[in-house]
Amino acid sequence: MSALRFARDSHLTVAVRGGGHSYPGFSTCDDGVVIDLGAMRRATVDAEARIATVEAGALLSDVELVSADGRRVRASIADDATAFSGRTANWWLTTEALWDDPDVDDEHFAWGRESLNELSRNALTANYVNDLGEPGEHNLHDIYGRARYDRLVAIKRAWDPDNVFRLNQNITP
């Protein structure tokens, strides 16, 4: 909390690093404060209460829920229960286009977007927000859907009205 207070009082950008897999680089910042949750990787299960708790820095490889008889268990979570959409999909597809020469940016952006658009015709409308390399709230409306997006705006207004946590795919309070 001290680091967060310092950052807010100093008007510094705050980045939150969870599992460290933000390929667009949204989990870090220059001239700001990075809150690294990487050490918070524990997963615990209270079998009697039927509650699993997973800390914010955990990766999928850190989480394996096993039933009392040794069977692996996949959590059954309603699609609208969390911000993560597309839980009913059988596959998760993402595209990445990498190059070194900035003179060909427009050409590569174009074929990358065209390829993703072609593939998207056979996909759910859901997406994982950390896969988006281009910020913009228009993308967030598509990903979350209106009801989920409105719920996230209400949460943001209640818990982060000053928009301190504005990196990643930001939801404006």
Per-position DSSP letters for 13-80, written without gaps between them: EEEEESSS--TTSTT--SSEEEEE-TT---EEEETTTTEEEE-TT--GGG--EE-TTS-EE-----TT
Q: CA 52 to CA 114: how far, in whole Å?
A: 40
Q: What is the pLDDT of residue 159?
A: 93
CB 125 within 8 A of CB 142: yes
User: Each residue's pLDDT tens digit in the chain (173 positions)?
Assistant: 888 899 989 999 998 888 766 767 778 888 999 989 989 988 887 878 878 788 888 877 777 666 666 666 666 667 777 777 766 677 777 667 789 999 999 999 898 888 878 887 777 666 677 666 666 656 777 778 888 889 999 999 999 998 988 887 788 88
Angle, vertex CA 61, rays to CA 36 and CA 144, nearest 5? 70
Q: Which two tokens stand for residue 88?
A: 């009913």
- Computed from CA positions of residues 44, 60, 140, 173, in that sequence, does the dihedral angle turn out positive or negative? positive
Q: What is the pLDDT of residue 58?
A: 84
Q: CA 111 to CA 106: how far, in whole Å?
A: 9
Which of 29, 22, 59 minimizes the C-alpha distance to 42?
A: 59
Q: CA 85 to CA 5: how far, in whole Å?
A: 32
> Scanning the structure block, which residue is given the tokens 């997006």?
149
